[in-house]
Structure 1
Amino acid sequence: MDDLEIVEIPEGLFSGLFNLGNLDFDKCNISVLPAGVFDGLVSLTVLDFSENPIGSLRADIFNGLAGLRALDIEDIGLTTIDENIFFNLTLLDVLSMENNRLTEIPATLFSRLEVLDQLLIFGNQLTQLPAGVFSNLTAITLLDFDANNLTSIPNGTFTGLINLEHLDFSDNPITNLQPDLFSNLTQIYFLDLSGMALQALPVDLFTDQESLEVLELDENPSLTELPFGVFRNLALLTDL
C-alpha cells in the first residue's frame, strides 16, 4: 500500500495479520506511528515505511519483530535514534536508514546485528563515527555511509569486517586516511573514496586489498600527487 495519501495509521490496524510477511507503506504522508503498531506481526520479514515525515521512532517500536530480515527507514526525518531500537532484530540482513538528518549515532546501535549483510546510512549529517560502532558486523558485505559530514575516520573503524566487499564513504570532507585503516579488509572489491578533501595517500594504504577491482578517487582536488608503489598490490584492479 505504498505511495498512498494515508496520513494516519489507526491503532490495531494490523492486528490479527499473523501470516503477513511483507509490509510496505512507503511514500505516504504518515507522521506518527502509534505505540504497538507492529505488535503481533510474528511472520513479518520485510518492513518498509520509508519516505514518510515521521521524524522520530519509539525505542520499542520493533520489539516484536524478531524475524525481520529487511528494514527500510530511509528519508523519514530522523534526527536522533535510540541505541536499543534494533536490539531484538538479530536476524536482520538489510538495514536502510539513508537520507535522514542524523548528526550522530550511538556506539552500540548495531551491536546485535551480527548477521547484517548490508548497511546504508548515506545522506545523513554524521560528523563522527563512535569507536567500535561497526565492530560486531562480522557478516557485512556492503557498507555505505557516503555524503555525510565526516572529517576523519578513526583507526579501527573497520576492524573485524572480514567479509566486507563494498565500501563507500565518498563525499565526506575527509583530509587524511590512516595507513592501516583498511588492514584485514582482504575481501573488498569496491572502494569509493571520491568527492572528499584528501591531501595525500599513505603508500601502504592498500596493502591488504589484493581483491580490489574498483577504486574511485576522483573529485579530490587537493590530491595533487600519489606515492610510488601505492597501487603495488592491486593486481586485480580494473577501474581506477
Structure 2
Amino acid sequence: MDCSDVASEKELGMIFNNRFPTKNFHSLKVTRNGKLKTLPKGIFGENTFEEVLFIEGALEVVQPEALIGSASTLRKLQIRSHQLRSFPFGEVGYYRNLDRLYLGNNKLNSFPRIVSTSLKELNLAQNPLKHIPAGGLYGMPNLRVVYLYSCQITDVPAGTFTGLRNLFYLTLADNNLTEIVPYSFELHTRNSRLFLASNKISKIAENSINGVSNFLNMNENNLVYLEEDVFRPLLEGGAQLSIESNPLACGHDIDWLVRSKKLLANVVGRSACSNGTLLTKLGSTDYVLWLSLFFLLFALVTQERR
C-alpha cells in the first residue's frame, strides 16, 4: 500500500479506519511526503504490516504504540532521511519478528537502549549520536550488520561489540575517532568486515581490533606507523587491508611487512607512504636488499662507535 500523497496525520488515520478486504498487508510505503510530522498511537487501527517504509520526508515523532498492531508481523521498519528525533525504542522488543531496523539520516541525538533478540540489522547512520555507551549493543545479541557511519562518534568503549557472535559487517566510517583502545572491535564470523575510513585515528592499541577475517578499511586517517602487533594477526588471518591516504612514515616499522610477500599481498588498493611510494613497491627485491644493507651498515657504524 502506497500512501505517499496523504495530506495529514488525520487523513492517514481516516484511510485506515475504512474496511478493507484484508487487514493484513505486506507493505506500507510513504515516500517524499513533507506533510506528516507525527505517527500517533493507533493511527493504523487493526491493520498489520510486514514492512513499513517512510523514505524522505518531515517525520519528527513516532509515538509509543503507533505500530503496535504489527507487533507479531513486522519484519522491516525503515524511517530514512526524515527529521526523526523521538522513537519508542523501549518497545522494539515487542516486535518479535523485526529483524531490520533502519533509521538512518535523522536527528536522533543519543544512542538508544534497545532490547531485541530478533534484530539482525541495525542502521543508525547519519544521526548525531556522538557517543556509544558501554554495553549499548548488549541487548541485541543476534546482530549481524551494524551501520554507524557519520554519527560524530568520538570513542568506542572497550567491549562494545563483545558478545555479538554473529556480527560480520560493521562500519563506523566518517566519525571523529582518534584512538582505538584495547578490545574496541571484536568480530567472530567468517568473512567479517570492518570499516573505519575517514576518521582521525592516529593510535591503535594492541588487541584493539580482533577477528576481522575479510576486510579492514583504514583509509583517510592519521596513521604514521603500521604497528606489527596490531596488523600482523589480521593479515596472517587472511584479512585484506586498505590504508590509503594516511601519512605513513614507512620506516623500520614496516620491515615486518615488506619482507613478507604473503602479508604484503593482503594490502590492497593504492595504499602508499606519505611520499607517494606504494606499499606494494616496497616489497620489491631491490627495496628489500636496500633495506637489508641499510640495517647492516647501521649495525656496523653503531659497533664502531662503541
Which TM-score tier does this pair reach, normalised by the shorter chain?
0.7 to 0.9
For structure 1, which segment, 66-75 or 33-42, has the greater mean C-alpha deviation from structure 2 after superposition?
33-42
CA offsets, 1:128-163, max 9 Å, x none?
A: 122322112221110011101111111221122110
How many residue pairs were aligned? 232
Match of 1:88 among 86, 91, 94: 94
Match of 2:202 in 1: 199
Alignment of 1:128-167 (within 5 A): 128-167=131-170
Alignment of 1:171-210 (within 5 A): 171-183=174-186, 185-187=187-189, 189-209=192-212
1:207–1:20 CA distance, 2 compared to 1 (3 A): closer
- Secondary structure of the structure 2 residue equivalent to 1:233: helix
CA offsets, 1:4-43, max 9 Å, x none?
A: 443224223124441212111122222333441122123x
CA contact (8 A) 2:4 2:29 kept: no
CA contact (8 A) 1:65 1:88 kept: no
CA offsets, 1:167-213, max 9 Å, x none?
A: 00111101111121224x2116210011111111123233433xx21
More strand by share: 2
Match of 2:268 in 1: none
More helix by share: 2
Amino acid at match of 2:117: E
Query: In the alignment, is residue 58 of structure 1 matched against residue 73 of structure 2?
Result: no
1:218–1:130 CA distance, 2 compared to 1 (3 A): same
Query: In the alignment, is residue 219 of structure 1 matched against residue 220 of structure 2?
Result: yes
Match of 2:38 in 1: 32
- Secondary structure of the structure 1 residue equivalent to 2:122: strand
Match of 1:102 in 2: 108
User: What residue ranges of structure 1 are gaps of 5+ in the alignment?
Assistant: none
Match of 1:119 among 109, 117, 122: 122
Aligned-residue offset at 1:83: 3.9
Please give the root-mean-square deviation of Cα atoms over the aligned residues, in Å. Answer: 2.0
Q: CA separation in 1, counterparts of 2:164 and 2:141?
A: 5
User: What residue ranges of structure 2 are gaps of 5+ in the alignment?
Assistant: 243-306
Aligned-residue offset at 1:101: 1.1
Select the structure of larger CA radius of gyration.
2
What percent identity do the matched residue pairs reach?
26
Q: CA separation in 2, counterparts of 1:137 and 1:84?
A: 13
Match of 1:228 in 2: 228
Give the structure, 1 or 2, with the largest relative contact order (CA under 8 Å, sep 6 or more).
1
